[in-house]
Chains A and B, each alone.
Chain A
Amino acid sequence: MSWTAEEMMTVAAARALAGRGSCFVGIGLPSTAANLARRLHSPDLVLVYESGTVGAKPRALPLSIGDGELAETADAVVSVPEVFNYWLQPGRIDVGFLAAAQLDRFGNINTTVIGDDYRRPKVRLPGAGGAPEIAASCREVFILVRHSRRAFVDKVDFVTSVGYGDGPGARERLGLRGRGPVLVVTDLGVLRPDPVTCELTLTQVHHGVDPGQVRAATGWELAVADPLGLTPPPTGEELGLLRELVAGGEKV
């Protein structure tokens, strides 16, 4: 049986949701992983989308964070101000799922601009959206990003969403109440913050990946945990459900 690196990444992210009660979901891989988790091991996982759909149970993967399917299957549909003020901000939600164009060693995220000059960027990215407050207020943050030196940089060009800022104590100083990014899942492995330095450390490589590959794809001197964990390959059930989801899902 074979699988793509993206499938491995999505499965690893879905596994990490086991035991979590609620998840603030962005579109794309996070949404795929969260919906896979609901089908695999967490049927009661509460999916909250920033469009205001609380407890959505999409029968097919939504293509946008505001698909009608999300509203039709949600426990409650609330206004956008309400979903941010009453649901996200108080820290009710266990896991916030974020993507990143750039990610630094302290888990700070850039989705705003590439280049030094904010006013005249090399590349203008979409911007913050809901990410800064998701990163600030969810109890924990998972980040999903493909591994490359372009993405994993020593210092992000723009801090859109705060991870551990400039290191230990930064979140407390800033009054950020969530724990911050406890997990980064990539197509090569899994990084976790060092408990002392808060620096993202390679704690796990996916089946068939060499740690050297990961270090080579990282823009800073990546620390590697010893012993280094190994992600078990996707099971047939995981791959089957994932492919079913991506193919359009079990329409009910």
Chain B
Amino acid sequence: MGLEIMDDVRKDFVRNMLSEGDREDGRGFREYREISLKRDIMNKAEGSACVKLGDTEVLVGAKLEVGSPFPDSPTEGVLITNAELVPLASPEFESGPPNEKSIQLARVVDRGIRGSGVIDLGKLCIEEGEKVWILFLDIHVLDNNGNLVDAAALGAIAALQNIRVPNEKYGLTGEETLQVHDTPVAVTMVEIDGTIVVDPTCNEENAATNRLTVISNADGSLSGLQKTGSYGMKEETIVEMVELGIEKAGEIREKFLNVPS
């Protein structure tokens, strides 16, 4: 009960600050927290990245294993995106099987990757109908201070960019790297009392009436949208967020993903 009151206090705090033009950490409304991206940091993973958005920290590891294709797509590899909200990362997370939050996180990141054709699954076929690469993308949240989606999506692309295909382990020959065809970037915004802010903290997420994640590609097109939360949104707000999302994605892509390949 005391905890619920603290929830309300924090929500009011965030709202009052915003009404005076401030955010709890002093950022501008359309400003991200400091982003840090480290690549290829886990030597057991075929690809990996660690992303920090301020105090939010997410680790993404990619593993490649040889397995069977789905019967209805015998010439394609398989991409499986999974997210674990381990209790280490937040007092609100609990041990147990994936829940609706972790499932949604994984699926939104997954759709962003599929929607923009980041990976050519046909290239992951080893032997039609028999053997394909199974590409596991595991999102491991270490510290949840808000906006896990953007951190996870950024980490996912960065991890894919540094994959080394373990051909040797399976006695195969083939390309060593995985071609990454696009660089979708997720930008999440919340609406709080009519104000739009990007890259929300936990407190801002809790105080928000709405949240929208906009995933966009290098050419400015969209490869994913996901509205979250139990409130309605106006068309104009959505359109404004989509524009803003595409703009911020461009900035992040420029700085972190346009690696010489």
A-B interaction: no
Chain B residues engaging chain A, CB cutoff 8 angstroms = none
Chain A residues engaging chain B, CB cutoff 8 angstroms = none
